[in-house]
Structure formats: C-alpha cells, structure tokens
Amino acid sequence: MDLRYGKRYTAVSAGSCEDRYDAVVVGAGPAGIMAALGCARACQRVLLVEAARLPREKSCGGMLNRYSLRALEPFGGVPEDMVLDPRWVHFRYYHMDARVKKATRVRFLNVDRARFDAWLLSLLPANVHVCEATSVADVRQTPREVRVDLRSGCAKRRTVQAAYCIAADGPRATVRERLGLRPFDRYLTVQEYVRIEAGALEPYFDCVYARRLSRDYGIGYLMPKGDIAIVGSIFYPGTRDADRKHQEALDLLRREYPLGPSVKRETWMAAHLRTPADLVAGQGRVLLAGEGGGFLSCTSGEGISFALNSGCMAGRAVARALSDKDREACAALERYECALRPMKRNLAFRMGMFPLINSYMGKNVACLIPTPLVSKVTERL
C-alpha cells in the first residue's frame, strides 16, 4: 500500500481466514471496497477477497466525474496528493478525418489511479478481513447461506460460509458465470504510457475517431497525467493482433500530438453490454456490483462512478438485511434491486443510444451539430 495512507483493515491469508463471515465481498476495486464498507457498518466480520496482489495495478484512465466525487463526499473527498496536473480535464470529441474537435462542459478530476486505489483500501475498518492473491473457484448457495470456495496458488481450496456474497470482480465476472448467467463479450483495451513535456497537452480527455484505422478499432482516447500521457485503444470483441493495431493508432496520434517516448504498455478488457438484460443485480444471496453486474457506461466506457455507487447500494442492502435479522434469502437482493432502478434506466437509455453514436453516420453528425448540443448530449451519456 502507498505509505501515505494508513491501514486499518485486517490482512489474512486464504489458509488463516475464518470459516464463517457475515458477508464475503469478491474484488477489491471501487465497487468491492464500497460494498465492504457498507457491510462493515452492520456486520461483525466481512471478508474481502482480491485475486491480485495489493496494491493492485488497474488499467484505467483515473478520471473522476461528478457522480464519483459525490459518492466519495462522506469520506472527506479525494486527498490532494493524488490529484495530477492538469487538475480538471474536460471531455473533447475529435473526429480526426474531418479535423473537427468538439470540447464539452463534462469534466473530470484527474487522479493517479494507483494512489486512488490505495486510499480506498485505507478506508476499510479492522472488521474487514482482506485476503489478497486469492481467487474464487466456485460459489454455491442454499436458502440459508452462501459457500465460497477460495483458491490461493497451489494451496488446497478453502470454503468460507457467509450470509451474503457481493461479487464485484470486474469484467471477468467469475461469480456471475458461476450463477449460470450469460458471460459478457469483452472489448480489448490497450493503454500506452507516454512521456510528455509539462503543459504540452491541452487539458482535455480526447476521444479520438479515425476511419483510416483498423475496422476492429472502436475508438481511441488520450489524456494528460502530469509528465505522462495515457494513450488508449478500444477494440471490438474478437479482435486479433491488437498490439500491432494499437501501434498503428499510436503512430498516427504521434503525428497529431507532442508525444515523447513510451514508458509501458498494458492490456485489459471491458464488458461489452448489448441489452438491458445484461444488467443483473444478482441471484438469491449473491449480489453483483460494478462491472460484474453490467454497471458501466456502454457509450463512454466510464465505470468508476457506477462501481462506487452500485457498491454502496449493495453494501447498504446487505447491512440492512442483517441489521433487521431478515433471514429471507432475497431480502438484500430486493432492497438492492429497488435502489438500482434509476441506474438501470440510465444505462438502458445509453444502450438504446449506442448503435447511433457508434455508427459512422453518428460520428459524422456529431461534427455538424453545434458544440453546445454535443456537450448536452455528452452529459447524458
């Protein structure tokens, strides 16, 4: 963990964790941490399981919109030492073929994602037991409890029992698949970290479109992060040879922006959401939060705000069910479903708009309509 932030949670290994917890949370990203915090208010013991070593590295732009900042207000807001230069970055659409740029009023707080994750971990209280480098092998449930099989390295599987499980395991969505739900198709993302001179780039989060690139290339993005710029490429599911295609995009962008040498390259994935049926709150005593439940924007790719807010909702639902000593299997799920309704409507609207926005016609129409209208549409998406 970043030494700037203290640690209050209890670190455990798969072999030393207890046999029974009030709740098990899978995934130590924003959704999982918010869920664990919510549960911890009413539970004696919460287990938070993370497949990676902590502090983990997450391939992400690290941009916090107003909904993310609002969700973090109860914790005192974001610490200043993780905010990068430029502090605020506005979203801008750049149609490279038409040479048209449309800057919007949508803005993000520009943060260091690694420090952000470390700070979130530091919020966890001592009654949250954190088990890192441990994956979930299986999840089974009865009307009375959930059993989670844990696997760490070559060690023998360990089964933990809990009243509820909240799965916030991202686009891999292991728990979602164990419930028998349709697995996601997945976009492939490639991010390049490139040196820049301080102040060399304008304070914009550029979303870049160029038809001359590979047909597998969905969209690109570029953002300044202090003396580094992140250059990203998003490829459609099934794309092959993504590194080469990303390099072609990077070479093109180097002719447009003052980019220096590359520092590192990383790949990740993102859920490809198709219909509102992909948005699933859970099943029985298992709740799904963040990207594992399908809660991210299919139009912008923004996921932190949906992760934070869905994690809060899931944690509160479990805490309320346990506080009320409600032993009904779906007590927490029903509360969670009710809280999620506005978010689901919002995401369903985005799914309806996505085919138009993602089409060649839609990208060209964005060049023709007035910039204030582009800004208003972007605020909804």
pLDDT average per 10 residues of sequence, the chain (381 residues): 76 92 96 97 93 82 94 95 96 94 95 94 96 94 95 84 95 90 90 93 95 88 96 94 95 95 94 92 97 92 95 96 77 96 96 89 88 85 75
Q: Dihedrals φ, ψ of 203, to 5°?
A: -80, 65
174-201 tens-digit pLDDT: 899 999 998 888 999 999 999 999 889 9
**Tokens coding 97:** 């073929």
The pLDDT assigned to 214 comes to: 82
Q: How many Cα atoms are found within 13 Å in the side-chain-facing hemisphere of 51?
A: 15
β pairing state of 20-26 and 158-167: parallel
Q: Dihedrals φ, ψ of 250, to 5°?
A: -65, -40
Multiple choice CATH, 10-57+116-184+274-354, 3.10.105.10, 3.30.460.80, 3.40.50.300, 3.50.50.60: 3.50.50.60
**Residue for token pair 């980019």:** 259
For the chain, helix (H) and strand (E) counts, in that order, are 9, 17
- pTM score, whole prediction: 0.95
The pLDDT assigned to 289 comes to: 98
**Residue for token pair 């973090």:** 72
**Tokens coding 106:** 């949508």
The pLDDT assigned to 1 comes to: 58
Q: Dihedrals φ, ψ of 2, to 5°?
A: -60, 125
The pLDDT assigned to 378 comes to: 84
Multiple choice CATH, 80-111+186-272+367-380, 3.30.9, 1.20.120, 1.10.3470, 1.10.20: 3.30.9
Q: Are 319 and 43 in contact, with CB atoms under 8 Å apart?
A: yes
- Range list of H helices, 241-330: 242-254, 304-323
- Per the DSSP assignment, residues forming a β-bridge with 88 are 109
Q: Where in the chain is the domain with CATH 3.50.50.60?
A: 10-57+116-184+274-354
Distance CA 21, CA 36 (A): 12
Q: Where in the chain is the domain with CATH 3.30.9?
A: 80-111+186-272+367-380
**Tokens coding 90:** 């506005």
**Tokens coding 109:** 């707080």
Sheet of strand 228-235, all strands in order from the earlier edge strand to the far edge:
63-64, 100-111, 83-95, 204-209, 217-225, 228-235, 185-195, 262-272
The pLDDT assigned to 326 comes to: 61
